[in-house]
Amino acid sequence: MSKRITIDPITRLEGHGKIEIFLDDSGDVERAFFQVPELRGFETFCLGRPSEEMPRITPRICGVCPTAHHMASTKTLDDLWKVEPPPAAKKLRELVYSAFMIEDHYLHFFFLGGPDFVVGPTAPAAERNILGVIAKVGLEIAGKVIRVRRECRNIIETMAGKVIHPVFGLPGGVSRGIDEVQRQEFLKTAEFTIEFSKFALELFGDVVLKNPDYVDLVLNDAYAHQTNYMGLVDADNKANFYDGQVRVVNPSGDEIAKFAPQEYVDHIDEHVEPWSYITFPYLKKIGWKGFVDGPDSGVVRAAPLARCNAADGMATPLAQASYEYMYETLGGKPAHCTLAFHWARLVEAQYSAERMKELLEDPEITSDDFRNVPTETPSEGVGIVEAPRGTLVHHYRSDENGMLTMVNLIVATNFNSAPIAMSVEKAAKGMIKGGEVNDGLLNMVEMAFRAYDPCIACATHSLPGQMPLVARIRDSSGTVIREIRR
């Protein structure tokens, strides 16, 4: 019987995550599986609940991107209750959402994924974390990182009550507004954030792009996948996180689908495997072809780079520039290299910062008219936003009293579950040869999925601690002959 390496659990997405790597007798990777061994059943226990409570229930799906769920849910309610929020409400929502994208992206870059580059992928585990980053970039910069997150989270907290699990979303608007004083204060935040976004990109340039090893790593085929890409775009096909239509491009970057949220059922299907609690979405038109990439694959990737690939560009000047520069460096659109997700993330953060400023410069945002109370009979609604980790779909049906009768949720990590499985397998095959397994190698395997930033990857590197990886090499009798522990 073949040897097996278990990485369990890597981290949770909507629950835990688990990688099973099987080696053949020569010690090469034969097959790797990515499993999600948990499920919490929101789709079911939300049934019979008043639909308007969903924005305060669904954030608990993920405590890292609660605002994404909150917003997707709130937009679903607009649709379900057939009510159009007043302009001020839309602006307030997008303001909060932009603040969220910024703080979340930087959280990931500096606390989670970033350390791999900033400190170095093969650096001692104990340093490969925020402290390591601080040590490397210096306290003053660390201070800035912290300040950006604090101020952005302050905007969220002011509007939405809680940063972790916001409460302010209502069908047809929001529960409160902001006054002129707050607008001015937030504007300062926006400006500071824009400055920071430039700095962050420079930092990425200095630390990563100026380091050939990293560039190799980024462009390394082990991390590349030819898949379809998906993301929300506005009327001009520019990337948008809060609103718009879903656009899908194929591996060669051609648009193969563009649809309104309500039409998602005509474009998305989910595949079920008996060995994982997570479902594997794919493009309906193409169908499920298994865990394969390439032009024929139905697999579609979400998340930052996917969004950049799916869009024609960024709606704000600075971000647009960064966007173009990124693709130059990566050798054109679409880019398939998984690790470039980190770069795309910084570009998106910059866009959000600029967008935040735009929204705040419009005095209408302080209007008291931030709610239209529904008057129609509720029935069915779909809401789609771009979560930091990819496209997020909420879909509810209710009775005439607004009590839920059907709930369907496709979270970003769902979309990426098949790609993650593939990336992991590919990475494992590329990294582990001849039974040669060590800490650095395993981390690189791990980087493959960390790039997708599956929710709780966070904590992994947020404090001194270690990635839970053990490679146990068994002989054919199954007894352990060698164990490597980080």
Residues 154-213 that bind another protein (CB under 8 A): 157, 159-168, 170-171, 173, 175-176
Q: How far apart are CA 300 and CA 306, in angstroms?
A: 9
In the chain the first and final C-alpha atoms are separated, in Å, by 26
Q: Which is nearer to another protein, 12 or 342 (CB)?
A: 12
Please tell me whether residue 138 binds another protein under the rule CB under 8 A: no
Window 223-262: residues binding another protein (CB under 8 A): none
Residues 339, 116: Cα–Cα separation, whole Å: 10
Residues in the chain: 486
Q: Is residue 484 a contact partner of residue 442, using CB atoms and an 8 Å limit?
A: yes
Q: 452 CB contacts (<8 Å, ≥6 apart)?
A: 303, 338, 341, 389, 390, 413, 416, 419, 420, 423
Contacts with another protein, 448-467, as mask; x by CB under 8 A: -------xx-xxx-xxxxxx
Residue with tokens 């995550």: 17
Give the footprint of another protein on residues 346-375 (CB under 8 A): 371, 373-374
Q: Is 395 in the site for another protein (CB under 8 A)?
A: yes
Closest by alpha carbon to 66, among 154, 130, 156? 156
Whichever of 52 and 293 has its CB closer to another protein, that residue is 52
- The DSSP bridge pattern shows strands 255-259 and 245-249 to be antiparallel
Pair 115, 134: CB distance under 8 Å: no
**Number of amino acids touching another protein (CB under 8 A):** 106
**228-233/245-249 β-pairing:** antiparallel
Binding status of residue 425 toward another protein by CB under 8 A: no
Q: Site mask, another protein, residues 87-116, x = CB under 8 A?
A: --------------------x---x-----
Least spacing, CB of residue 460 vs another protein, in Å: 5
Q: Is residue 79 at the binding interface for another protein, with CB under 8 A as the rule? A: no
Select 20 or 293, whichever has its Cβ closest to another protein: 20
- Which residue in the set 27, 28, 43, 289 belongs to the binding site for another protein (CB under 8 A)? 43
Question: Does the protein bind another protein through residue 11 (CB under 8 A)?
Answer: yes
Q: Which residue of 25, 45, 179, 221 would you call a contact of another protein, by CB under 8 A?
A: 45
| 46 interacts with another protein by CB under 8 A | yes
Closest distance to another protein from the beta carbon of 335 (Å): 28
Span from 8-16, 182-190, 224-232, 312-320 in contact with another protein (CB under 8 A): 8-16
359 neighbors 189 (Cβ within 8 angstroms): no
**Judged by CB under 8 A, which of 185, 191, 234, 273 binds another protein?**
273
Nearest to 30 by CA among 355, 432, 303: 432
